[in-house]
Chain A
């Protein structure tokens, strides 16, 4: 296979795990968690430093996930216990993570792994990545069929209803944030091993990428009407990464990439929003009609105090 397509495909598989993590907060929990940029790098730096210390690559990923879960826990506690707004909680965590990540990498902005064994040593990267992403996608799909998974969906949907079930939604939120960020950190750890180094800035733009991928994936699968969330994440990421890679090929500088991805997100969002705007208008007029009908009915019904 063409090496261009190959590298896009492989990177997409890695990023799609991040996107699944972001999907949990953004789409399911409806919680604005912007800490992804920080937890992606956190996963990368934890895995990288452990590998340079001789820890096995797989074990290092497990510890990356734990670190990610802690980052999610921090956002959750700020939001649930200290009642700080969701966006602000996650930004605070993201900012704090920058310093923590630097400390983890012992003050170095870049930590090379070239002389160490990684997940990909002597193996076909596409094969390894396919297996990992498949496992994540299966876990993701199965998890949202469990009772706990439904609680997460329910909280994003109608918190009142979940409280009525006698459930403490605060602790479920904290759990969901931990789960989401452990996915993101796992993805960061894999990326560090894949590219052979960890960099303090490698997480920049992760959040935007995640949102764009989800929105692209959604706008496509909505048409087809087939909604397996993990597939939405994987295909969305693939399309997003492809369009970014193509614009690089078209002659843009790598330094233009950030602008290109921003513009891409704006385009996709505005297409999505103009559709939503249309649907909202229609719903609004429907709602007004309904209101009118119910009042006339009640008046006609009579006998009410």
Chain B
């Protein structure tokens, strides 16, 4: 459903800060894929998601979404069909608005933002139900401004907001990194449930190897803008942490000598 074709991206081209992140990078994402992306800091994981959602423009190559070339589409046009959660918890919600208002905004995604009132009292039950699944007690804070929530609570809310519609593609950038281990576990479970339930095509960046092994049907390891590991299906299911680290070590040695 999504194809990256020979994509290249260099930040600050022709300056001393030049940073080549991707060079002729290609990737094929099938419908209903749930891809976990691993990789060290600076490998290009966030940039990859930003390229897909249009936040970062590529220098070269094509992006094909559902057989349509969307390379030149602006960020907001791409976002009509894509939902995303940023690595930075402050980017996914509107801090001065309440949880209720944030959820109402997200619920209206894809419809017109015209002159009808945003807040619909009838949504209260539905929103409470959604928030209850998080077990964070947010259902009792519907009218609290999001600025008063913790980073973890914001990311969890952002997850609920991202999947309230049915996006063609869901991009998660370390969305559980700001959470405590227990909440991270809960949110990961919810993510998995929602992805399966709604049949969402998903790309999830994580630093947690256990999570990457446990969830999803495909695992990619990025290193300096290259896919050094890409396993799916049975191979992915039988993958263990030890095996993965071994693979990574091999690759790393090889890349040292190449």
Contacts A145-B118, A146-B117, A158-B91 known; A303 to B210 CB distance under 8 Å?
yes
B190 in the interface, Cβ–Cβ < 8 Å?
Answer: no
Interface status of B95 (Cβ within 8 A of chain A):
yes
Partner of A158, one of B76, B81, B90, B178: B90
Query: Does B74 count as interface, using CB distance less than 8 angstroms?
Result: yes
Interface contact B96-A157, CB-CB below 8 Å = yes
Q: Is the CB of B180 within 8 A of A297?
A: yes
Given A150, A161, A294, which contacts B113 in the complex, CB threshold below 8 Å? A150
Smallest CB separation, A108 vs chain B (Å) = 40
Query: Per-residue CB proximity of B108-122 to A under 8 Å, as 1/0?
Result: 111011111111000
The digit string for A280-305, where 1 denotes a CB below 8 A from any CB of B, is 00000000001000100100010111
Residue contact B79 to A165, C-beta cutoff 8 Å = yes
Q: How far, in angstroms, from A164 to B109 measured CA to CA in the complex?
A: 9
Check if B86 sits within 8 Å of A150, measured CB to CB: no
Interface residue from B110, B118, B162, B210 paired with A166 (Cβ < 8 Å): B110
On whether the beta carbons of B97 and A165 are closer than 8 Å, the reply is no
Q: Which residues of A contact B178 (CB under 8 A)?
A: 294
Question: For residue B109, which residues in chain A have a CB less than 8 angstroms away from its CB?
Answer: 165-166
Distance to closest chain A CB from B19 (angstroms): 22
The 8 A CB mask of B3-28 against A (1 = contact, 0 = none) is: 00000000000000000000000000
Q: Which of B108, B119, B180, B210 contacts A145 (CB 8 A)?
A: B119
Residues of A within 8 A of B75 (CB): 163
Q: Select A163's contact among B76, B108, B207, beta carbons within 8 Å.
A: B76
Query: Among residues 107 to 150 in chain B, which have CB atoms less than 8 Å away from a CB atom of chain A?
Result: 108-110, 112-119
Q: Which residues of B contact A149 (CB under 8 A)?
A: 118
- Which of chain B's residues has its CB closest to A144's CB? B118
A56 to B117, CA, bound (A): 34
Instruction: Give the number of A-B contacts (CB < 8 Å).
Output: 94
Q: Which residues of A contact B91 (CB under 8 A)?
A: 158, 160-161
Contacting residues of chain A (125-177) with chain B, CB-CB under 8 angstroms: 143, 145-151, 153-154, 157-158, 160-161, 163-169
Most buried by B among A143, A165, A294, A301: A165
- CA gap between A165 and B38 in the complex, in Å: 27
A interface, over-half SS: helix
Name A150's contact: one of B101, B151, B207, B209 (CB within 8 Å).
B101
Kindly list chain A residues whose C-beta atoms are within 8 Å of the C-beta of B94: 153-154, 157-158, 161
**Chain B neighbourhood of A151, CB < 8 A:** 113
In the complex, B105 has a CB within 8 A of chain A = yes
Question: How far apart are B141's CB and chain A's nearest CB, in angstroms?
Answer: 18
In angstroms, Cα B107 to Cα A150, docked, is 13
The answer to whether B80 has its CB under 8 Å from any CB of chain A is: yes
Which of A160, A168, A297, A301 has most chain B Cβ within 10 Å? Answer: A160
Tell yes or no: B106 within 8 A of A by CB: yes
Q: How far is the CB of B227 from chain A (nearest CB, A)?
A: 16
Given known A146-B116, A147-B115, A148-B114, contact A157–B97 (CB-CB < 8 A): yes
Please state if B119 and A165 are interface contacts (CB–CB under 8 Å): no
A165 to chain B, nearest CB (A): 5
Q: Cβ of A160: which chain B residues have Cβ within 8 Å of it? A: 86, 91-92
Do B77 and A166 have beta carbons less than 8 Å apart? yes
Alpha-carbon distance A136/B93, docked complex (angstroms): 30
Contact A158 B95 (CB under 8 A): yes
Asked, given contacts A160-B91, A305-B208, A305-B209, whether A146 binds B79 with beta carbons under 8 Å apart, the answer is no
Q: Enumerate 29 A-B pairs (CB-CB under 8 Å) in ascending A order.
A: A143-B115, A145-B117, A145-B119, A146-B115, A146-B117, A146-B118, A147-B112, A148-B114, A150-B97, A150-B105, A150-B118, A158-B90, A158-B93, A158-B94, A160-B86, A164-B92, A165-B109, A166-B77, A166-B79, A166-B80, A166-B81, A166-B110, A290-B151, A294-B151, A297-B181, A303-B208, A303-B210, A305-B40, A305-B208
A residues with CB within 8 A of B:
143, 145-151, 153-154, 157-158, 160-161, 163-169, 290, 294, 297, 301, 303-305
- Starting from the known contacts A147-B115, A160-B92, 12 additional A-B residue pairs (CB-CB under 8 Å) come to A145-B117, A147-B112, A147-B114, A147-B116, A150-B104, A161-B92, A163-B75, A163-B76, A164-B92, A169-B76, A294-B178, A305-B209
- List of 9 A-B pairs having minimum Cβ-Cβ separation, nearest first: A166-B80, A147-B113, A157-B94, A160-B91, A305-B209, A166-B79, A147-B118, A301-B181, A150-B118
